[in-house]
Amino acid sequence: MAVYLDNNATTALDERVLEAMLPYMGQVTGNPSSVHRFGRLQKDAIEQARESVAQLVGSRAEQVIFTSGGTESNNLLINGFFQKNRDNRIAVSAIEHMSLLEPAQNLGRMVDIIQADENGHINRSALQQVVDERTSLVSVMTANNETGVIQDLSPLVDLAAENNCFFHTDATQAAGKISLDFVGSGIHAMTISAHKLYGPVGVGALIIDKRLPIRKLQFGGSQEKNLRAGTENVPAIVGFGKAAELATAEMQTNARHVHVLRDALEEGLSEFAGVSIFADLVERLPNTVQFGVNGFDGETLLMQLDRKAIAVSSGSACTSGKTEPSHVLKAMKVPDALANSAIRVSFGKNNTMSDVDALLAALHDIIEMNQQSAVMMAATV
Amino acid sequence: MTEQTTKPIYLDYSATTPIDERVVTEMLKYMGPESSFGNPASRSHSFGWTAEAAVETARKHIADLVGANPKEIIFTSGATESNNLAIKGVAHFNKKRGKHIVTCKTEHKAVLDSCRQLEREGYEVTYLDPMENGLVDLKVLEDALRDDTILVSIMHVNNEIGVIQDIDAIGKICRARKIVFHVDAAQSPGKVEINLEELPVDLMSFSAHKIYGPKGIGALYVQRKPRVRLEAQMHGGGHERGMRSGTLATHQIVGMGEAFRIAKEEMAAENERLLKLRNKLYDGVKDMEEVYINGDIDHRIAGNINISFNYVEGESLLMALNKLAISSGSACTSASLEPSYVLRALGRNDELAHSSIRFTMGRYTTEEEIDRTIEYVRKAVEKLRELSPLWDMYKDGIDLDSIEWAAH
């Protein structure tokens, strides 16, 4: 089997999570809204999962609203907030995931973009530049999906509070990798997703403080505190709960494991000429490294790696296949040519040191061969 | 106690169905570390391509059951999202052309609440009264259409009373006036033949968990020729031809595909079997006094029967029938004690609406279960009527409508 190094795109479902889900895909049937016993058992399972998810992010259970995933959570937050606060401005960072950036951009004039610095950080001064008395919501992600850069949110949360703004953070990539404290951080809303932490695809949550006014986007039932209509995806929610429980228990072990792998990879990369690691001076998620290889086209590199049975990506899977350079690297003022050569490696708990070796060997071959042919080309001219 | 005596008989297949084991088997191929677990949007490696191929196979299975082109199938998180996307998406896209929408009072909440939201946004919605049998009167529909009507949304099969609307005729009326026609078909695939190649339908909502597939996945059929335009409701990545962003849940999509594939294979025989069971159930209770069927009995799916037991209070009946998993109507409104708005729309009075029970049968319902159901129902109704002063008055020949109740 190929080496999978794209865990920020999606992770493999943990077998223990699958085990927890299976009863709800088999014998235990029922619609959680039904009042009979079948329905009640489903409802109980949802509430138990809610507790586990709350524990992972340091929120109260009643603050957890289950959705179909991170994309829906971000859309619900941005559009749902706008519907309730049409005259107020929203400030979002330039490096957000498209599922936040796109709905925000669709609001047009009502949105201000907070610039990132060259390390991918959103500084207090950058937020200061856009926030004023008309701003009512600030959204800055906890950790970036491409570079892995972790934001220091607390000065931003403070500044938002000074301006009477609510604060949302997209913690899709952070949850399960670094510890989160929703209640203690003063944040009013947080997006998370199950399939980035060894849970199933198709379920996520918006953690929300009830002081933050939003209107639901999907109508047709009063499920999820009347914020999200539709029959609950019970097996997936149960899986999310189990994945959250495991992530809470095993976060440190997993973080240490992937950190070792990443350090080894970065050490190996330092020996290649022309490789530059993005945001290597700042704190990043322990599993993520994004780098450029000078003179290479990223897409070609990816294909060549795939031929060698190594699965990585250039950045976000959601924008994969597009030829434009990543908006995240652009915001960090990385030159287009280098940004176009970007490779993102995201480790997961199932990876081993031999995966690092395989990647380094493959990169060595590809880069070496290319440089040889460049030399030959030069010789023939 | 044995399993059989403790576990209630499940007769709530319109609320949700168990997942078919064959569906689970297919889903498991895309779940877990040894599986093809990639993100279908990952274009740079085989994990992504394998997942994408699985999604496309599923799309084809779904299209095959309903006579559509796979390219016309957009995956969503369920029928609620499909209905929201269709109704709000069309309304928002066409707001310059007109702001009038026509639907029916017996639609699912996902349709009605989407329409209510549009009303708050300044649209105008006409909610048609159905005929007494639950079907839309085509003449009434035609009269409701205006020059600024942009959308008609009528469900295929009603979730409470199981009646099948004549979507072919309704669609023709809409086509003649170039009005977009959306059909909520959450309850119909596998139960009624659907051939979208011929049906004049522009948009159709589907659900997986009503057809032995998993929860959390649905689809919207969006006709390509002529192309139906709608505004996406969820943004960020442009998945599903820009109409619905968000990572595709491969295992759920695969499950939905397999469920639709199985339905295509088995629907003819299964519907015949269910019809026998339903007739048996009805025959078993119809000789009791004051028993009424809600909704047209001929234009109806095989697995549904909705019966009012007059002079019996619905909630008490549900409690007395705790060996049956049944409902008084839609699961989505079952927590409320209001009488079913669907039955009210049919012109049923509060008493009859309150005393209704929906029995919905499916793939795992057995004849033996129906025998026991008949026995339980007869006993419960007789016992509750014995305790009912209204029943006594009825038996004494007192016209209950003539009584003026004291205010309290």
Distances (CA, A) of B31 to B28, B34, B177: 5, 8, 47
Residue A317: per-residue pLDDT: 58
For A51, other C-beta atoms within 10 Å of its C-beta total: 14
Between positions 45 and 64 of B, the ones with CB within 8 A of A are 45-48
Distances (CA, A) of A194 to A10, A302, B76: 9, 26, 17
What are the residues whose beta carbons fall under 8 Å from the beta carbon of B81, sequence distance 6 or more? A68, A218, A230, B218, B233, B244
Count interface pairs A-B at CB distance under 8 A. Answer: 279
Structure tokens given for B71: 């390219």
Residue A318: closest CA among A173, A123, A139: A173
Helices (H), A134-221: 154-162, 182-185
Is B381 touching A (CB cutoff 8 A)? Answer: no
Mark yes or no for CB contact A31/B27 under 8 Å.
Answer: no
**Which chain A residue has its CA at the smallest distance from B31's CA?**
A13
Task: Tell the residue number behind the tokens 């699958």, with chain if given.
Answer: A18
Is B15 touching A (CB cutoff 8 A)? Answer: yes
Query: Residue A247 and residue B50: Cα distance in Å, rounded?
Result: 27
Residue A195: closest CA among B40, B243, B258: B40
Residue B2: per-residue pLDDT: 44
Between positions 57 and 86 of A, the ones with CB within 8 A of B are 68-72, 74-75
Between positions 192 and 221 of B, the ones with CB within 8 A of A are 209, 214-217
Residue type, position A120, single letter: G
For A309, other C-beta atoms within 10 Å of its C-beta total: 14
Mark yes or no for CB contact B44/A233 under 8 Å.
Answer: no
Residue A143: closest CA among A111, A102, A118, A177: A177
Query: Residue B70 and residue B53: Cα distance in Å, rounded?
Result: 13
Q: Which residues of B touch A15 (CB under 8 A)?
A: 32-33
Between positions 313 and 352 of B, the ones with CB within 8 A of A are 318, 322, 324-327, 331-335
Write a three-state SS string for chain B.
CCHHHHCCEECECCCCCCCCHHHHHHHHCCCCCCCCCCCCCCCCCHHHHHHHHHHHHHHHHHHHHHCCCHHHEEEECCHHHHHHHHHHHHHHHCCCCCCEEEEECCCCHHHHHHHHHHHHCCCEEEEECCCCCCCCCHHHHHHHCCCCEEEEECCCECCCCCEECCHHHHHHHHHHCCCEEEEECCCCECCECCCCCCCCCCEEEEECCCCCCCCCCEEEEECCCCCCCCCCCCCCCCCHHHCCCCCCCHHHHHHHHHHHHHHHHHHHHHHHHHHHHHHHHHHHHCCCCCEEECCCCCCECCCEEEEEECCCCHHHHHHHCCCEECECCCHHHCCCCCCCHHHHHCCCCHHHHHCEEEEECCCCCCHHHHHHHHHHHHHHHHHHHHCCHHHHHHHCCCCHHHCCCCCC
Residue B257: closest CA among B30, B87, B81: B30
Strand, coil or helix: A113: strand
Determine which of A11, A25, A82 to mutate to test the interface with B (most B C-beta atoms within 10 Å).
A25
Question: Does the interface ipTM go beyond 0.85?
Answer: yes
The answer to whether residues B359 and B162 touch, using CB atoms and an 8 Å cutoff, is no
The catalytic site residues of A sit at 318
Mark yes or no for CB contact B113/A219 under 8 Å.
Answer: yes
Query: Residue B243 and residue B236: Cα distance in Å, rounded?
Result: 10
Q: Which residues of A touch B101 (CB under 8 A)?
A: none
Label residues A88-127 b or e (16+ Cβ within 10 Å = b).
bbbbbbbbbbbbbbbbbebbeebbbbbbbeebbbbbeebb
Task: Tell the residue number behind the tokens 């009072």, with chain if given.
Answer: B105
Residue A150 DSSP class: B
Structure tokens given for B136: 């839309």
Query: Residue B161 and residue B105: Cα distance in Å, rounded?
Result: 13
Write out residues in chain B with pLDDT < 70, as ranges. 1-6, 329-337, 403-408
Residue type, position B351, single letter: E
The answer to whether residues A42 and A232 touch, using CB atoms and an 8 Å cutoff, is yes
Between positions 224 and 243 of A, the ones with CB within 8 A of B are 229-236
Residue A88's φ and ψ, nearest 5 degrees, are -105, 155
The catalytic site residues of B sit at 332
Burial label for A131, CB within 10 Å (0-12, 13-18, 19+), is buried
Round to the nearest angstrom and report the end-to-end CA distance of chain A. Answer: 42
Determine which of B24, B209, B247 to mutate to test the interface with A (most A C-beta atoms within 10 Å).
B247
Is the backbone peptide bond immediately before A32 cis, with ω within 30 degrees of 0?
no
Distances (CA, A) of B156 to A144, B185, B403: 45, 5, 40
Run means of pLDDT, 10 residues per run, chain A, 381 residues: 93 96 87 87 96 98 97 96 91 97 91 97 97 95 98 98 97 98 98 98 97 94 93 96 98 98 97 94 97 91 93 73 80 94 96 98 90 70 56
Is B99 touching A (CB cutoff 8 A)? Answer: no
Distances (CA, A) of A132 to A123, A162, A165, B293: 16, 10, 9, 63
Mark yes or no for CB contact B41/A72 under 8 Å.
Answer: no
Residue A157: closest CA among A206, A124, A132: A124
Which region, left, alpha or beta, applies to residue A184 given φ > 0 means left and ψ of -120 to 50 means alpha?
Answer: alpha
The answer to whether residues A299 and B44 touch, using CB atoms and an 8 Å cutoff, is yes
Determine which of A318, A351, A352 to mutate to test the interface with B (most B C-beta atoms within 10 Å).
A318
Mark yes or no for CB contact A302/B44 under 8 Å.
Answer: yes
Query: Residue B392 and residue B135: Cα distance in Å, rounded?
Result: 35
**Backbone CA torsion sign across B209, B213, B218, B221:** negative
Residue A178 DSSP class: B
Q: Which residues of A touch B19 (CB under 8 A)?
A: 25-26, 29
For B229, other C-beta atoms within 10 Å of its C-beta total: 13
What are the residues whose beta carbons fall under 8 Å from the beta carbon of B313, sequence distance 6 or more? B354, B355, B384, B388
Residue A74: per-residue pLDDT: 97
**Which chain B residue has its CA at the smallest distance from A77's CA?**
B234
Query: Residue A239 and residue B38: Cα distance in Å, rounded?
Result: 18
**Backbone CA torsion sign across B211, B213, B215, B217:** negative
The pTM of this model reads 0.93
Between positions 100 and 129 of B, the ones with CB within 8 A of A are 108-114, 116-117
**Which chain A residue has its CA at the smallest distance from B234's CA?**
A75
Mark yes or no for CB contact A13/B78 under 8 Å.
Answer: no
Task: Tell the residue number behind the tokens 């809409």, with chain if given.
Answer: B174
